[in-house]
Amino acid sequence: MFVKYEDFDTLPHWVQKYIENIDMRTQSSLTAREYASDLRLFFRYVAERRGLVSPDDDWADIDLHALVDTDFLRSIRSGEIVSFNNHCRDVLKHRPNTLSRRFIAIRRFFRYLTVQRHILETNPMDELDPQKTGKSLPVYLPLEDCLLLLRTVENDPENPFRERDYCILTLFLNCGMRLSELCGLNLADIRRDDTMRIRGKGSKERTVYLNGACTAALRRYLRTRPQEGLKAEDRDAVFISRNKRRINQRSVELMLEKYLKICGLEGKGYSIHKLRHTAATLMYQNDVDVLQLKEILGHENLSTTQIYTHVLDAQLRAAVEQNPLANVRTEPTEEEAKKAAHVAFLQSQMLPPEMLAKAAAYDPLAQALAKAEEETEEQKANKEAHIAFLQSQMLPPEFLERIRAEEEEKEKKEKKEKK
């Protein structure tokens, strides 16, 4: 859970300073709140581990502001950080991306204390390797799920805000906006030339061109947008809540959760951020260049955008495998190649026909070689040599022993019949 603004004063002194530094440097309140929550959780864990608070105490009641002073920070050891990471992974069951973010928050905090503020002489993070997370393909809504979601909102007669909600989802699915960007939209950001100004991470601005679906949804919503009873600080907001305030992020999330449940898409891992992934994926699948996509999404690095090219690669591979001719092969499979190699081995051992016939009972692969062939004098003379050689090869000893016994019994019987 993120640190609430009203709880900021309860954080340790140096954590407050660090968060203020992040907020000024990146202009990203979301990042600052995430890091504040990560550090608060870390220091609560360390305090309990050291026995400074009772395990029965509610972590929310621990006074970190008084507990975590400069001496406390200097006493932190790398082992406690590793233990905290293990606790988050094994007990709290955090996902790899969350673990990585917490690790980064702690690492940057101690670097701030060591390099910028010179509070610490040594950084406990220097002994630890960065957390590695495997890259996963983004989850997105297929086109049919997007259409179902939009139709569900549009046809909901009991929702007095359906024009607003439909417009919000249309912008997410067409423009690939972030949640914070949508909630921060002002009326002046929507221009007459069908473009929209978006303020992204670090207060970086970009311009997004609005397609027909977006302009139609905006016009329809703005005709119903409340005009009266708005507070001064919210009069410029594009999207207004039922309380006649600028809509907040949680309200948008709840709205999406509600409609995902109504149209049967609940439990598929969809979220507001997945709508951004959806917009990016659909554009890339329809021949939008990856460099253009980078500008639309407001990515700082091209490598961030290139994950959507991996989505298409995976889809292409899956599509090819669904071809009904996918299992028609001119080259042997791995299993077929193994069988062919085994048959070639049996052939190379010059097994006499009667041994090959007996081998078929134990080795199905030998059946392919069990043909009626007359045994040559040379094969008879080398029979024992072949058996000795095979003992060092693939055939099991008990198999050879049984063949030998049967051959000896056959020879005895033949000699008896001659007498």
DSSP state of 301: S
- Identify the sign of the CA torsion 103, 14, 127, 75: negative
Which one is catalytic: 220, 273, 386, 404?
273
* Tokens linked to 7: 């709880």
201 is a catalytic site residue:
yes
Token pair recorded at residue 35 = 């890091």
Catalytic residue among 201, 206, 225, 258: 201
**CA gap 313, 310 in Å, rounded:** 5
If we measure between CA atoms, which residue out of 132, 129, 171, 166 comes closest to residue 149? Answer: 166
Place of tokens 């999207």: 239
Write the DSSP string, 346-369: HHHTT--HHHHHHHHHH-GGGGGG
Q: Which 3 state secondary structure label does DSSP give 198?
A: strand
DSSP run (H or E) holding 195: strand 195-199
Task: Specify the 3-state DSSP secondary structure of 196.
Answer: strand
Q: Which of 185, 180, 204 is nearest to 195 (CA)?
A: 185
Catalytic-role residue among 166, 308, 358, 383: 308
From the candidates 44, 101, 162, 178, give the one annotated as an active-site residue. Answer: 178
Q: CA-CA distance, 350 to 117, in Å (whole number)?
A: 82
d(CA 82, CA 125): 10
* Strand pairing class (205-209; 195-199): antiparallel
Contacts of 309 (CB under 8 A, 6+ apart): 284, 290
Is 308 annotated in the active site? Answer: yes
Q: In the block, which residue shows the tokens 């043909």?
A: 371
Q: Tell me the residue type at 312.
A: L
Residue 185 backbone zone (phi > 0: left; psi -120 to 50: alpha; other: beta):
beta
Residue of 44, 107, 164, 276 marked catalytic? 276
For residue 157, what are the CA distances in angstroms to 132, 184, 222? Answer: 48, 28, 19
Q: DSSP string of 298-348?
A: T-SSHHHHTHHHHHHHHHHHHHHHTSTTTT--SS--HHHHHHHHHHHHHHH
Closest C-alpha among 171, 215, 225 to residue 194: 215
Q: What are 207's strand-pairing partners?
A: 197
Catalytic residue, chosen from 294, 299, 358, 383, is 299
Catalytic annotation, residues = 178, 201, 273, 276, 299, 308
